Amino acid sequence: MNETAFLIFTGIIILAIFLAFIRLLKGPSVPDRAVALDALTTITTALMVLLALYMKRAIFLDVALTYSIIGFIGVLSLAKFFEGRS
């Protein structure tokens, strides 16, 4: 993968992370922030896989899979926490 294409793709993904992060900072209620966090987990997984391709290191794929699993468990426990608090 050449340098320019990697820079363009990474730049667009970082812009996406930035947009979702604004919502994470200013979201009016707590579930809004949880939705933004859920999306951020997925976007970061894609970014890690792209980084693995650029650096030619297959171990980053395992990191991406683990990060995705941990994010899934985190969002589920957040949802359970909102529901049980009433």
Q: Build a one-symbol-per-residue string for 61-80: x at contacts with other proteins by CB under 8 A, - elsewhere.
A: xx-xx--xx--x--xx-xxx
- For residue 31, what are the contacts with CB-CB under 8 A and spacing of at least 6? 82
- For residue 16, what are the contacts with CB-CB under 8 A and spacing of at least 6? 43
3-state SS class at 52: helix
- Binding residues for other proteins, rule: CB under 8 A, are 1, 5, 9, 12-13, 15-17, 19-20, 22-23, 29, 31-32, 34-36, 38-39, 42-43, 45-46, 49-50, 52-53, 58, 61-62, 64-65, 68-69, 72, 75-76, 78-80, 82-83, 85-86
